[in-house]
């Protein structure tokens, strides 16, 4: 692993020269939490994200497991979201994504893995979402939450309009988000119209939050998020309510700051 040479531009913003270095930095912060909790004989509760952004983070964590003996035996994980209406084996389900990029390659205990299910029946979703929140509370909350950002400013699937006090729930996907996913689903008509997502309030309750943004595609929304007042129209702006949030960018994502 090469050591990332970061240029700190503010205390809580790190700009790394490359996507790889930003991802390594992020993985290291997560691994440090896992190890610190191990030393205390405690579980490390990770809030995990999907999408292209965290792929290299997970790759790095898998390397640390294989080459440096990082164990996930004390890890409990909660994923942010899942598309509604798809099974855990669907090739674009977040269940499958997590197995493919992380869970299948580390020693996390299957019973410690939590994701919302896209197969939850509509009349039971409310109850499942309450139970999801309760499980997080049962573990005393999320120790470290990894976040990406959508190009419309969503975090998890908290689309524009999501209130600050929102919790885990079913949400309609914004046309912008569905368009962004159209290619990988093989057409807009195949993209789910709804998702189950942790709420803004759920996310903000995490003890530590890392927002990772990579690449030129994210530069515009990062700029908007930093320049705008807090508004439900750009849900990521709510993160400003917590000055301790850690932002990790590559040079491209930070290029308009």
Annotated active-site positions, please? 81, 152, 154, 159
Per CB under 6 A, does 53 bind ligand GLP? yes
Return the number of other C-beta atoms located less than 10 Å from residue 134's C-beta: 10
Per CB under 6 A, does 148 bind ligand GLP? yes
* Nearer to ligand GLP among residue 54 and residue 65 (C-beta): 54
Per CB under 6 A, does 177 bind ligand GLP? yes
Per CB under 6 A, does 51 bind ligand GLP? yes
Q: Which of 123, 126, 114 is nearest to 170 (CA)?
A: 126
Among 52, 87, 127, 193, binds ligand GLP (CB under 6 A): 52
* Nearer to ligand GLP among residue 21 and residue 50 (C-beta): 50
The Cα–Cα gap between 115 and 95 comes to 7
Q: Which two tokens stand for residue 127?
A: 């109850």
Among 49, 62, 136, 142, binds ligand GLP (CB under 6 A): 49
Cβ 193 vs Cβ 178: under 8 Å: yes
Find all residues with CB under 8 Å of 95, minimum gap 6, and list them.
82, 88, 89, 115, 117, 118
* Count, residues near ligand GLP per rule CB under 6 A: 13
Beta-bridged to residue 8, according to DSSP, are 14
Per CB under 6 A, does 80 bind ligand GLP? yes
Binding residues for ligand GLP, per CB under 6 A?
Answer: 49-53, 80-81, 148-150, 156-157, 177
């Amino acid at each position: 692993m090469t050591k990332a040479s970061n240029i700190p531009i503010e205390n809580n913003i790190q700009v790394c020269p490359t996507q790889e270095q930003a991802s390594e930095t992020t993985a290291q912060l997560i691994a440090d939490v896992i190890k610190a909790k191990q030393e205390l004989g405690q579980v490390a509760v990770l809030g995990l994200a999907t999408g292209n952004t965290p792929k290299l983070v997970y790759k790095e964590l898998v390397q640390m497991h294989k080459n440096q003996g990082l164990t996930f035996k004390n890890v409990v994980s909660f994923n942010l979201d899942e598309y509604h209406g798809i099974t855990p084996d669907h090739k674009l389900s977040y269940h499958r994504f997590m197995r493919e990029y992380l869970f299948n390659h580390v020693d996390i205990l299957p019973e410690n893995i939590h994701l919302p299910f896209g197969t939850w029946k509509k009349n039971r979703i409310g109850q499942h979402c309450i139970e999801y929140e309760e499980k997080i509370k049962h573990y005393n909350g999320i120790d470290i939450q990894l976040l990406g950002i959508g190009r419309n400013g969503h975090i998890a699937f908290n689309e524009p309009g999501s209130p600050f006090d929102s919790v885990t729930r079913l949400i309609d996907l914004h046309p912008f988000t569905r368009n962004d996913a159209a290619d990988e689903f093989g057409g807009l008509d195949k993209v789910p119209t709804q998702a189950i997502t942790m709420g803004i309030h759920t996310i903000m309750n995490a003890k530590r939050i890392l927002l990772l943004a990579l690449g030129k595609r994210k530069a515009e929304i990062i700029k908007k998020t930093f320049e705008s007042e807090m508004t439900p129209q750009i849900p990521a702006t709510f993160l400003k309510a917590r000055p301790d949030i850690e932002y990790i960018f590559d040079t491209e994502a930070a290029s308009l700051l």
